[in-house]
């Protein structure tokens, strides 16, 4: 089937089977910040925005993004600069696999006026797993993002 | 795979008449994983963009919730927080932010999982579901929709909306799982207590979501005795034992939650 959508502002057309995961479509289109982690909606490494909402690309099927506006970390370089700097400054990155997902969630949270308390940030990160950092530095980095 | 996109409700019911076994595609948080096991055989009817199945609206002393309303829309709806706080509390324990942006009310009900949190909460709130088919619409109490493990009585039908009486009296909602957030319930308990008495339901405490009627009658009669509560729970609940937890564990946690609900319910 034919799927048309915009990814980071550019129109993309795909000819694919309806059961194709959005995760695979966007990675094949070159957006490799979207990571294939658990594949089951648990880890958030595949997070991306669809029409302004952060969702798991591993659970979404191709038809669900027809005519939609997709945004990945590649399309939010300027908007996330302060967050990425804060992650680097606070050592909130080890292997880096989970980082794009965390940065997008942090951006989503902060741009909706999310509270900067540790408790609220930990709760907001309920859909992102990290196997390396122990979260302490990630939470600290998000608390201290310069606005 | 046979993929069909519906653009209005009439098209959906016509397609369901033709393909009663079809999967409806909404948030796909359950369906995506099911489909991976059988993509060749499946027919998919995509309803995710149907505006007529979205939105929350007050209708007198009830709230009408469109089937495509997401868990985050419930959680952040002022009307729901105000008039159905138990539902908002349930949504707050549900999945993760990303999952709540996808998962729909209708999908949680239709999937008929014994662990479905929202379904259990809606049963305790005495919600009804509106079902549509080629023959028109009908409304049934949600509790009567189920016929066992992952089984519904939907017959060439889809759920178009859920209607819920606005909450009065006190209530309690609690979920226990492996992690504090993102988890499938090992056990959850939803309870309301108003002029009509106690209404109690729970997730992972039976093959399908049920009301705990023996327990309700006991508490309505003013008996709060531990042994009697335990016996009533054992009568009403039929949890499975599995790799995630044992039957005895689930019953014990449910008992503790009921005790907690009786000593410290939320008031409204
Ligand atoms: C990581 C993860 C965490 C989760 N956490 C929770 C949790 O905490 N609590 C919980 O209860 N569940 C949880 N779930 C399960 C799931 O997210 C929910 O059941 C969700 O509400 C399903 O909605 P959906 O729109 O994604 O359904 P879909 O996957 O689109 O559909 C599910 C099924 O329902 C049918 N269906 C959908 N809508 C209708 C309708 N209107 N009428 C008739 N049939 C219909 C479909 O045909 C399909 O068979 C979780 C899932 C994942 C992957
Ligand atoms: S890969 Fe999608 S949530 Fe883990
Ligand atoms: S830094 Fe390795 S998974 Fe998070």
Q: Each residue of B22-52: pLDDT tens digit?
A: 999 999 999 988 888 777 778 999 999 999 9
| pLDDT value at residue A29 | 97
| pLDDT value at residue B176 | 86
Q: Would the pLDDT of B54 be above 90?
A: yes
Q: Would the pLDDT of B181 be above 70?
A: no
Whether B3 has its CB under 8 Å from any CB of chain A: the answer is yes
Q: Do A56 and B5 touch (CB under 8 A)?
A: no
CA distance, residue B255 to nearest chain A CA (Å)? 27
| pLDDT value at residue B180 | 52
B168 in the Ramachandran plot: left (φ > 0), alpha (ψ -120 to 50) or beta?
beta
Q: How far is CA A111 from CA A43, A51, A147, B145, in A?
A: 22, 15, 10, 41
Q: What is the dihedral of CA B252, B256, B257, B258, to 10 degrees?
A: 100
Q: Would the pLDDT of B184 be above 60?
A: no
Which ligand 2 atom is at minimum distance from the Cα of A38?
A: 4
Per-residue pLDDT, averaged over B80-87, amounts to: 97
Q: By three-state DSSP, how is residue B217 classified?
A: helix
Question: pLDDT tens digits, residue range B236-257?
Answer: 998 876 656 788 889 999 999 9
Residue nearest to atom 4 of ligand 3 (CA): A130
**Residue of A17, A41, A45 best to disrupt the B interface, most CBs of B under 10 A:** A41
CA–centroid distance, A51 to ligand 1, in Å, is 20
Whether A119 has its CB under 8 Å from any CB of chain B: the answer is no
For residues A126 and A114, what is the distance between their CA atoms, to the nearest angstrom? 14
User: In chain A, which residue's Cα lies nearest the Cα of B39?
Assistant: A19
Per-residue pLDDT, averaged over B130-151, amounts to: 96
| pLDDT value at residue B171 | 97
DSSP string covering B36-95, please?
Answer: HH-TTT-EEEE-TT-GGG--EEEETTEEEEETT-BHHHHHH-HHHHHH-HHHHHHHHTSS
Q: Is B171 in the pocket of ligand 1 (CB under 6 A)?
A: no
E strand or H helix at A138? helix A136-143
CA distance, residue A126 to nearest chain B CA (Å)? 5
Whether A60 has its CB under 8 Å from any CB of chain B: the answer is yes
Residue B6 tokens, joined: 């519906």
Question: pLDDT tens digits, residue range B198-248?
Answer: 999 999 999 988 899 999 999 999 999 999 999 999 999 988 766 567 888
Q: Which residues of chain A from 3 to 32 reach within 8 Å of chain B, CB to CB?
A: 17-19, 21
Q: Is A45 in the pocket of ligand 2 (CB under 6 A)?
A: yes
For residues A118 and A141, what is the distance between their CA atoms, to the nearest angstrom? 10
**Residue of A55, A69, A112, A130 best to disrupt the B interface, most CBs of B under 10 A:** A55
For residues B70 and B107, what is the distance between their CA atoms, to the nearest angstrom? 9
Per-residue pLDDT, averaged over B149-173, amounts to: 95
* Complex prediction ipTM: 0.97
Q: Would the pLDDT of B179 be above 80?
A: no
Per-residue pLDDT, averaged over A123-146, amounts to: 96
Instruction: Tell me what the pLDDT averaged over chain A comes to.
Output: 97
Per-residue pLDDT, averaged over A14-19, amounts to: 94
Measured between beta carbons, the chain B residues lying within 8 angstroms of A139 are none
Q: Is A98 in the pocket of ligand 3 (CB under 6 A)?
A: yes
Is-contact B13 B132, C-beta < 8 A? yes
Q: Which residues of chain B from 164 to 203 reach within 8 Å of chain A, CB to CB?
A: 181-182
| pLDDT value at residue B243 | 57
Q: Do B25 and A61 touch (CB under 8 A)?
A: yes
| pLDDT value at residue B44 | 93
Q: Would the pLDDT of B186 be above 80?
A: no
For residues A95 and A91, what is the distance between their CA atoms, to the nearest angstrom? 11
Band of the pLDDT at B265, cuts 50, 70, 90? Answer: confident
Band of the pLDDT at B96, cuts 50, 70, 90? Answer: very high
Residue nearest to atom 3 of ligand 2 (CA): A41
Per-residue pLDDT, averaged over B147-151, amounts to: 92
| pLDDT value at residue A26 | 98
- Rounded to two decimals, the pTM is 0.96
Q: Do B39 and A59 touch (CB under 8 A)?
A: no
Instruction: Tell me what the pLDDT averaged over chain B comes to.
Output: 92
Count of alpha carbons within 13 Å of A20, Cβ hemisphere only? 18
Sign of CA dihedral A50, A56, A61, A62: positive
Tell which one of A35, A38, A91, A94 to mutate to probe ligand 3, the residue whose CB is within 8 A of the most ligand atoms.
Answer: A94
| pLDDT value at residue B240 | 76
Q: Would the pLDDT of B152 be above 80?
A: yes
Which of the ligands is closest to the CA of residue A87? 3
Strands B128-133, B136-141: pairing kind: antiparallel
| pLDDT value at residue B32 | 87
Band of the pLDDT at A6, cuts 50, 70, 90? Answer: very high
């Amino acid at each position: 089937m034919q799927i048309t959508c915009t990814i980071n502002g550019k129109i993309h057309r795909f000819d694919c089977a309806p059961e194709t995961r959005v995760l695979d479509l966007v990675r094949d289109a070159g957006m490799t910040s979207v990571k294939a982690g658990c594949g089951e909606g648990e880890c958030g490494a595949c997070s991306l925005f669809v029409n302004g909402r952060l969702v798991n690309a591993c659970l979404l099927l191709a038809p669900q993004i027809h005519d939609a506006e997709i945004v990945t970390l590649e399309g939010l370089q300027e908007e996330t600069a302060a967050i990425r700097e804060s992650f680097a400054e606070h050592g909130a990155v080890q292997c880096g696999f989970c980082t794009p997902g965390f940065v997008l969630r942090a951006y989503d949270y902060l741009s909706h006026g999310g509270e900067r308390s540790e408790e609220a940030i930990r709760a907001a990160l309920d859909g992102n797993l990290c196997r390396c950092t122990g979260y302490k530095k990630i939470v600290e980095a998000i608390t201290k993002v310069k606005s | 795979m046979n993929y069909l996109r519906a653009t209005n409700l009439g098209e959906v019911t016509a397609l369901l008449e033709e393909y009663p076994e079809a999967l409806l595609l909404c948030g796909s948080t359950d369906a995506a994983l099911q489909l991976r096991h059988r993509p060749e055989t499946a027919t998919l009817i995509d309803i995710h963009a149907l505006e007529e199945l979205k939105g929350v609206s007050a209708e007198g002393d009830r709230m009408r919730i469109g089937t495509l309303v997401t868990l985050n829309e419930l959680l952040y709806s002022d009307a729901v927080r105000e008039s159905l706080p138990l539902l908002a509390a349930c949504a707050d324990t549900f999945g993760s932010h990303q999952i709540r942006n996808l998962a729909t009310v209708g999908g949680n009900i239709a999937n008929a999982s014994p662990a479905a949190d929202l379904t259990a909460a809606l049963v305790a709130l005495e919600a009804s579901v509106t079902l549509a088919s080629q023959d028109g619409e009908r409304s049934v109490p949600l509790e009567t929709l189920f016929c066992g493990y992952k089984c519904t009585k939907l017959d060439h039908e889809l759920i178009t909306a859920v209607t819920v009486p606005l909450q009065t009296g006190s209530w309690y909602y609690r979920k226990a799982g492996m992690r504090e957030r993102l988890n499938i319930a090992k056990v959850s308990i939803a309870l309301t207590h108003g002029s009509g008495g106690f209404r109690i339901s729970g997730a992972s405490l039976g093959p399908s979501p049920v009301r705990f009627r023996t327990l309700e009658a006991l508490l309505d009669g003013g008996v709060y005795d531990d042994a009697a509560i335990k016996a009533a729970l054992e009568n009403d609940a039929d949890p499975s034992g599995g790799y995630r937890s044992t039957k005895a564990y689930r019953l014990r946690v449910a008992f503790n939650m009921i005790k907690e609900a009786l000593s410290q319910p939320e008031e409204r």
